Amino acid sequence: MKDLWIDGAPATVEDLMRQALVNYGAYTSFAVAGGAVRGLDRHLARLTHAGHALFGAAVPESRVRDLILQALGDRSDAFVRVSLFSREISPRSPAHEEPPSVMVGVFHPATPLGEAPLRLQPQPYSREMPDLKHVATMGLIRARRRARLAGYDDALFVDAEGRISEGSLWNIGFMRGDTVTWPDAPMLQGVSQALIKAHLADFGLKQETRRVTLDDLSGFDGAFITNSATPACSVAAIGDHAFSLSTERLASVTAAWARAEPQPV
């Protein structure tokens, strides 16, 4: 099951060529289960923000929802990516302003990043315009590739000021006792991260947001990553520093994510 639709019509070779040659746009991706999405309103708000920031105008959220429904057809379970791009913007003609085109990709349900705890390699890197989920992904793919080739599962980004921010495809949270600490640094505010934040207190967990560096790792007794395909996966190690996050606390984080009501597309 792999379908690509652009503005409600099957993607053409010309449209795909434009996206292959012009690396300018934004996207969001999420799991659809039973015809509903946890945090759908947040995904739509992300696209609205990106539309204004990158194209000078946004596609109405009602229009985006209609396009998602049209692309899904009779399928109630899938992994969906909604991308924004412009047929008019190019390196030689970058100043065009109007609501972008919308590409909807429908795929088989995504496989979580892994059930086993992850080993992360710290790498110096900061995404351009980190508040946007944009398509300039060479840097993060390169970082993830370097980590895999070095024997790690993924890369953890550390900025020029030494602040831990995010990973290649996910956000990270640290734990000490009953408190979750979120890094304070320029990063993409993930939807799954936001859903967890909204419901941690329901499961007896506190939270804070503060600067976290590699030197601070010894002050935590666990860490986990989260994204749309993986509500929570524990971290075994960051570089040479090992963690042992309890399955009970990880289950509480996952339960906080699950407390968010799925929203019908």
The DSSP output letter for 90 is: B
Of 216, 138, 135, the residue nearest 174 (C-alpha): 216
* Residues 218, 52: Cα–Cα separation, whole Å: 41
pLDDT of residue 114: 64
Query: What is the predicted pLDDT for the residue at 246?
Result: 78
pLDDT digit string (tens) for the chain, length 265 residues: 569 999 999 999 988 888 889 999 999 999 999 999 999 999 999 999 999 999 999 999 999 999 999 999 999 999 999 999 999 999 999 999 999 999 999 999 887 766 689 999 999 999 999 999 999 999 999 999 999 999 999 999 999 999 999 999 999 999 999 999 999 999 999 999 999 999 999 999 999 999 999 999 999 999 999 999 999 999 999 999 999 877 899 999 999 999 999 999 9
For the record, the structure tokens of 210 come out as: 């503060």
Same domain, 65 and 131: no
Q: Which is it for strands 154-158 and 164-167: parallel, antiparallel or unpaired?
A: antiparallel
Q: How many residues does the chain have?
A: 265
pLDDT of residue 116: 85
φ, ψ (nearest 5 deg) of residue 90? -150, 170
What is the enclosing helix (H) or strand (E) of 254?
A: helix 247-259
How far from chain centre, in Å, is Cα 47? 13
Taking the alpha carbons of 14, 18, 19, 25 in that order, is the dihedral positive or negative?
Answer: negative
CA 208 to chain centre: 21
Domain range enclosing 147? 118-264
Domain boundary among 86, 107, 128: 107
Report pLDDT for 95.
93
Residue 214: CATH number of its domain: 3.20.10.10
Same domain for 126 and 219?
yes
Q: Which residue has the tokens 């012009």?
A: 22
244 belongs to a structural domain: yes
Asked if residue 153 and residue 83 are part of one domain, the reply reads: no
Q: In whole angstroms, what is the distance from residue 30 CA to residue 224 CA?
A: 19
CATH classification of the domain holding 51:
3.30.470.10
3-state DSSP assignment of residue 93:
strand
Query: Which of 107, 134, 166 finishes a domain?
Result: 107
Whether 127 and 257 map to the same domain: the answer is yes
Token couple for 125: 């890197």
Q: Are residues 41 and 145 in the same domain?
A: no
Which of 46, 74, 107 delimits the end of a domain? 107
Indicate whether 112 belongs to any domain. no
- Residue 113: inside a domain: no
- Non-local CB neighbours of 39 within 8 Å, separated by 6+ positions: 30, 191, 192, 194, 195, 260, 263
- Predicted structure pTM score: 0.94
Instruction: Quote the number of domains for the chain.
Output: 2
Q: How confident is the model at residue 2, as a pLDDT?
A: 67
Which region holds residue 32: left if phi is over 0, alpha if psi is between -120 and 50, else beta?
beta
Q: Give one DSSP letter per residue of 219-234, joined into a string.
A: G-SEEEEE-SS-S-EE
**Residue 64 sits in the same domain as residue 151:** no
The residue written with tokens 């429904």 in the block is 69
Give φ, ψ of 131 to 5 degrees. -75, -10
Domain membership flag for residue 10 = yes
